[in-house]
Amino acid sequence: MQKDEYLKKLASALSGIPDAQKKDILADYAEHFEMGVLDGRSEEEISEALEDPRTIGREYTAAALVKNAEADPSAGGLGRAILATIGLGLFNLIVVLIPLICIIMVLAVLFLIGFSLCCAGPILTGGAVLELLGIVSGVLFFSAPAAVFLGIGITCLGLLILIMEYWLIRVLYRIGIRYLKWNIAVIHGSEQI
Amino acid sequence: MICTLPSTRQIFCWLFLIMILSFGLGGIVLLIESDKTKPDLEESSDFRIPYDGIETVRMNLKVDTGTINITDGSMEEILSGKVHADTNHYLPRLTHAITNKTLFASDDRHSDLFHEMIGGEEKWDIRLGNQIPMSLMISVGAGDIHMAPGDAQISELALESGAGSIFLNITAWKGKDLPIRIENGAGDITILFPDQSHVSVSLDRGLGNLLLTGFSGNAHGYYHTTDKPDAPVIHVTISQGLGDVTLRTENAMKK
């Protein structure tokens, strides 16, 4: 493959990243070709020694999306970064997707528990207050005054679980970004990409 | 004056403090209250409706959760029995009104939003008299219906259950024509018929086994006939979602 064709394919594969970064990458690879030619190698030999431009493009795109997700944290940004990282190979489907599904399930269960407690607490307290006021009777199988306090406690516990989940999401986000960076670096074969 | 919102950490600390205090106080109150004798919330009441010139009975009984047990053996009353509720506040009553010598009986209960949401279990034990014709419409949301009315003069019968089993024994029934309608969402249905009778059963079912003894027919209808020309005629319409249906005749049971 000639230099122009190689760079054209690489430019096409880098369509998902910002123009400035794209230009830098293309300039690096053009320089690589120029240095190779000065060393007496043909453009075909240089392009054969390099990786497939589409693979390089996917790696750079994934790395750029991970950087974007790190700089501007959002669920959508992280989702795009994860999808781009998974797209790097079958290996990533296992090492990225399975932990991601496990984490989402744990977070969903925690949210469900927290939300349920947030709903159950006011219902218990409300029922106990109504029973104490004599509006209803027989709805509780234990002491109504105790149910008032226990209902408040359960509500607080639910809210605490939701707050802790919020913190956990923030921590997991940071860990997730670092994990994706490490993963891309492992696939690329170097720490820097 | 500038008001600043508390940070998440402060909110967390306050919630944690309130939670510990609430659980602590709730636990202490629970311990103190547990020493007191708990009031017995369960309650039951009897009902007796005498004949008093009544010629027919129409009873409409609707129970959300609980069991209904109907038997014969009320000698001096049209209807008698007992209703039991797990909460005295929601103890139902069997009310009745008489119009043109027809007794209209139905359930009546105090209810509120909490009772609608949480519900309460009821147990009805009803004994039927055998002197006058009766039309019965029994409905249970969740629970069993057990009915063995003996020789009570039932002229029409409708049984409905959302979830629960229905047992009906009409082997001792002595009338001429009896339409029966049974609707059940989930649960088993068992009906025992008199041997000397003409029975036709129309069945609309979802999932479950069909156990027939003394019947013939196909999915469109099942029949039992007898040589006796003036034998009672019983028409049964069954609509069931999930569960077994057992249809048996008296002699088949003995075999």
Q: What is the mean pLDDT of residues B159-187?
A: 92
CA of B33 to nearest chain A CA: how many angstroms apart?
A: 6
Which of residues B86 and B104 earns the better pLDDT score? Answer: B104
Which of residues B87 and A68 earns the better pLDDT score? Answer: A68
Which of residues A123 and A90 earns the better pLDDT score? Answer: A123
User: Where do the H-state alpha helices sit in A72-143?
Assistant: 75-86, 90-95, 97-132
CB-based contact A156 B29, cutoff 8 Å: no
Q: What is the DSSP string of B81-93?
A: EEEEESSGGG--E
CA of A131 to nearest chain B CA: how many angstroms apart?
A: 10
Residue B27 has pLDDT above 50, yes or no: yes
A30-63 pLDDT, tens per residue? Answer: 888 888 888 888 888 888 888 888 888 888 888 8
CB-CB contact of A110 with A167 (8 Å): no
Residue A155 has pLDDT above 50, yes or no: yes
**What is the structure's pLDDT at A137?**
66
In three-state secondary structure terms, B136 is strand
d(CA B47, CA B91): 13
**What is the structure's pLDDT at B121?**
82
And the tokens for B101?
Answer: 């010598």
> Does the pTM exceed 0.90?
no
d(CA B41, CA B44): 10
Residue B117 has pLDDT above 70, yes or no: no
pLDDT tier at B69, thresholds 50, 70, 90: very high
Find the CB nearest A143 among B8, B29, B115: B29
- Domain boundaries defined on chain B: 11-40, 41-254
Which of residues A173 and A1 earns the better pLDDT score? Answer: A173
**What is the structure's pLDDT at A80?**
85
pLDDT tier at B119, thresholds 50, 70, 90: low
Q: Tell which residue, B19, B11, B6, B26, has the closest CA to residue A156.
A: B19
Find the CB nearest A138 among B23, B33, B41: B41
CB-based contact B11 A137, cutoff 8 Å: no
Least confident piece of the model among B115-119, B170-174, B176-180: B115-119
CB-CB contact of B236 with B201 (8 Å): yes
pLDDT tier at B30, thresholds 50, 70, 90: confident
Residues in chain A with CB shorter than 8 Å from the CB of B8 are 163, 166-167
Find the CB nearest B19 among A127, A137, A160: A160
Percent of chain A with pLDDT over 70: 95
Asked if B111 has any chain A CB less than 8 Å from its own CB, the reply is no
Residue B175 has pLDDT above 90, yes or no: no
Scored b (16 or more CB within 10 A) or e, A74-93 reads eeebbebbbebbbebeeebe
pLDDT tier at B253, thresholds 50, 70, 90: low
